[in-house]
Structure formats: C-alpha cells, structure tokens
Structure 1
Amino acid sequence: MAMPEQDTNAVRALRALESADSSVRLKAAMAVGTTPDPKFVDTLIERCAVEPEFFVRDMLTWALTRHPSSMTVPRLIDELRSERAQARSQALHTLSKVGDRRAWPAITRALLTDADDEVARSAWRAAVVLVPEGEESGLAGVLATQLGRGERAMRLSLSRALIELGEVIMPVLRAAMKDLDPGVRRHAIATERLLRDPDAGFEFAIEEAKRLVALGPTGQEGG
C-alpha cells in the first residue's frame, strides 16, 4: 500500500534534518515548523541536542514553538536532565520562547548555577520569562550568587536577567556591593547603574564600577 503523500513529506523532512548540509537542515526545520505535526516533536528536540549550527538550532526552536506546548514542554523538561550541556541549554532556550509557566518548577538552582556557561545563561533567560508573580525575590537571590562570573558577555547576560526583574533586585545588589570579591562588587555596581540608566551602556557602567571599587567603601554612593 502506498504511503500517503503527507506521510511521505514528513519522512523526507525528518531525514533532511540529519543531512550533512546545514542549509538542507535549515530548510527542513523551516518546513517542519510551517506544517507542524506531533510526529516531529521528538526528532526536533533530539536534533537540538546535537545540531552544531546556531542558526539551525534557532530554526529548530522556532519549529518547536509552532507545536502545542502541552506536547513540547514535558519533553523539553526531560531534556533539562540530560548529561549533554547543549541539550540542556537548547531546551532552556526553547522553554523561554514557548513561555509556558508550567515549566517554572523545572528551572532549578542547579541549572541557574550550572558549570557550563551556555546552560547557565539560558537558564537565566528562561527563569526571568517564566518566574511566577511573587517569586522574583527568590530568583534574584539565586542569580546574585553568580555575580562576578565569567567574562564580559557572561556578566552582561546576568545583568540583563537581573534588570528584567526590576527593583526587587536592589537588596541583593546592595549586599553584593559589600562582597569581599572586587569582581562581584564591580558587577553589582554596574548592574545597579544599568537598572537606573538603561541607556548608559554596559561598558560605561563597568568602568564606573571599577572606579568606585578602587575608591573603596567611601566612594560607593549609598554603599
């Protein structure tokens, strides 16, 4: 018996997702997202864990957002327990795009402080999207433990995540401004400056923070 044309197209698309040619994989992900079908979900998530090209991964995420969250969210949550860092980071990224707050309990402290930078950054972004009203302070407290972590891009990601939470971050920033680690103090001061003046720019905020830390406690306004 001949396979229905729709099923034939689905099989072709699924095979194309594993092509050696990234442009073929990109087109396949776009096709799957354009005509979503439950049979695609597992393969899309599996590909997210191993896909080497960023732009293809982003299309895979888009394709997943085109499917019902009742189908994708449980599978994405399962991926958060994967030993593969890319599987965790891409699942977190996709959950942030889906925006279904039923995923919130799965955004654990372990993920927010993951040793892999990309996993941690993805967890920060997902957390500020999914955090329920009233739990922002608790999230801010966990995020503040990461102040001073990594290089510029990492620190900017954390500052942006914290700023998304609004004024609720001020108590943890004030505490961090007194930390023994000057890197933590600088990062906290820069984040506070960006919260107050979003147009200032991260580089300016960091340079000002360095100056204030160098001056010592007496040079820190309100510190």
Structure 2
Amino acid sequence: MQDSVREPVQDSVRDSVRDAGRVVRGLENGSSSVRLQAALAAGTTPDPRFVGTLVERCATEPEPYVREMLTWALTRHPSSTTLPKLVAELRSERAQARSQALHTLSKIGDRQAWPAVTRSLLTDSDDEVARCAWRAAVVLVPEEEAPALAEVLATQLGRGGREMHLSLSRALIALGEVAVMPVLRAATAHTDPRVRGHAVGTEQLLRDPDAGHDFAIGEARRIVALGTTGQEE
C-alpha cells in the first residue's frame, strides 16, 4: 500500500523537476519567442527555482518585450525570494543589470528595498540606470525621507535631453509639492541656465499637470531669456 502511494508522489516530483528544467532552458533559448513563452510560464506558475535565472536573464536579455515579461514573472514570486537577488544586481558593473533590477524593484514596490537605492544609482552616469533609479526611488521612499530624496534628484536638473528632463520632472512631482518646491525654488536661481529652465518647467508642470512638457520647457526658456525666475518685469 505504501509503495502504491509513493510511486504517484515520485512521479509528480519528477514531472515538476522536468517542467522546471524546461522553463529554465527556455529562458536561455536562442529564440526570443521561446524566451518570452518561458518567462510567461515562470510567472504563471511561480517557482523559487526560476528566480535566479530570471534575474540573470534580465541583465543580458536584448529584447525589451522579453525583459518586461521577465520583470512580470519576478513580481509573481515572493519578494522575500526576489529582493536579495535584485538588490545584489544593483552592484553589477553591467548597466542593464542595474537598470532592470531597479525597474523590477519599482514594480514589486517592497519598501524594504529602499536603502539599496543609493545616491550613486540616482546619479549614475548611465542615463537608463539613473532614470530607473528615479522611478524606483519615488515608489519606495518613506514619506519622511521624500525631502532628502528631492534634494538629490535636484542635482540632476538640466541633465540630458527632453526624455531625461521629463523623467526627472515626473519623479520630482511624484514626491509632492511640500517636498519638491523648496529645491525647485532654489534651482531657479542656479547659475546654469539649463538647470534654471528645467526647474521652472517642472514647477509649471507641478502647478498644471495637464500642460504639455514642451510648453512648460518653452515657457521656462522664455523666462530664462528674460532673465527672470517667474514673472516678466
């Protein structure tokens, strides 16, 4: 009787191991469509055996839509399993590993990861890493630390082109008016016209979220050209 019970259990274990192995191999397949299906399977039926490979694939996966599925699959696993591996990726020399780990942490939303979003990541020389760090930071930051985060983010005003400006503006606005207005007001007196313009444009968006960013930046440039910080003489 015991043998007859044990055999179905052993068969079930073997099937589970075989299925897990198939998913892991699929994540490493040369076909992006196979990798996509494997990531979907890993999220549909979460298994701690998938987590290491999912995180590793995030660091090297060339297709954005597959990376997004990898992130989704990781959000389906317990954060107690995923967070340690994702936080470890933040120290990687590979920019994609850092950016994708930050992106995934922002989707998981577990504030235990907040201490790992360091100033060095928020000011990372790689634009995509910095943008992902900004998004993750505003999701994970405790309310009482929002003003300090705003001060760090304000050091990036004027960085990059339109997309970078818009990403940073959105991150600052997400922190709320109380946290962000002091740093924006200070930045409008900055010696760099790019910083002044970006600060004024962000303040415009804060006051009127429906205003287009191009309009806000255009308004900021006009104000800077006039040599004022808010109103014409």
Q: SS at the partner of 1:81?
A: coil
Counterpart of 2:46 in 1: which secondary structure?
Answer: coil
Secondary structure at the aligned position of 2:144 is classed as coil
Matched position secondary structure for 2:102: helix
Structure 1 vs Structure 2 CA RMSD: 1.3
User: Displacement, 1:199?
Assistant: 0.3
Distance 1:182 1:53 in 2: 37
Q: Which residue of 2 aligns with 1:66?
A: 76
Instruction: Report the counterpart of residue 102 of structure 1 in structure 2.
Output: 112
Select 2:202's aligned residue among 191, 196, 208: 191
Mapped to 2, the partners of 1:221 and 1:173 lie a distance apart of 16
**Matched residue SS, 1:135:** helix
Q: 2:190 aligns with which of 179, 183, 203?
A: 179
Q: Alignment partner of 2:143: what SS?
A: coil
Give the C-alpha shift of residue 220 in structure 1: 2.2
Alignment of 1:71-90 (within 5 A): 71-90=81-100
Which has the larger displacement, 48-57 or 4-13?
4-13
Q: Of the candidates 67, 87, 90, which is equivalent to residue 57 of structure 1?
A: 67
TM-score when normalising by structure 1: 0.97
The higher radius of gyration belongs to 2
**Aligned counterparts of 2:75 and 2:116: Cα–Cα separation in 1:** 18
Structure 1 stretches lacking a partner, 5+ long: none
> What is the CA distance between 1:6 and its match in structure 2?
1.7
- Indicate yes or no: 2:8 matched with 1:29: no
TM-superposed deviation, 1:157: 0.3
CA shift digits 1:150-187 (9 cap, x unpaired)? 01111100000000001110010011111111100010
What do residues 131-150 of structure 1 show as CA deviations (whole Å, max 9, x unaligned)? 00211000000000000000
Partner of 1:221, secondary structure, is coil
Q: Which runs of 4+ in 1 moved over 3 A?
A: none
Q: Using the alignment, how far apart are the partners of 1:47 and 1:10 within structure 2?
A: 16
Question: What amino acid does structure 2 have at the position aligned with 1:81?
Answer: R
- Tell me which of 222, 230, 233 is aligned to 1:211: 222
Between the aligned partners of 2:17 and 2:77, the Cα distance in structure 1 is 17
For residue 57 of structure 2, what is the aligned residue in structure 1? 47
Aligned sequence identity (%) = 70
**Normalization by structure 2: what TM-score?**
0.92
5 Å-filtered alignment, 1:92-131, equals 92-131=102-141
Q: Is the counterpart of residue 140 in structure 1 residue 140 in structure 2? A: no
| Residues 89-131 of structure 1: per-residue CA shift (max 9 Å, x gap) | 0000000001000000011000000000000000000000000
Q: Using the TM superposition, give the Cα deviation of residue 75 of structure 1 relative to its aligned residue in structure 2, in angstroms.
A: 0.9
2:175 and 2:76 map into 1 onto residues whose CA distance is: 28
Q: Secondary structure at the match of 1:134?
A: helix
* Counterparts of 1:89 and 1:221, CA distance in 2: 39
* 5+ residue gaps, structure 2: 1-9
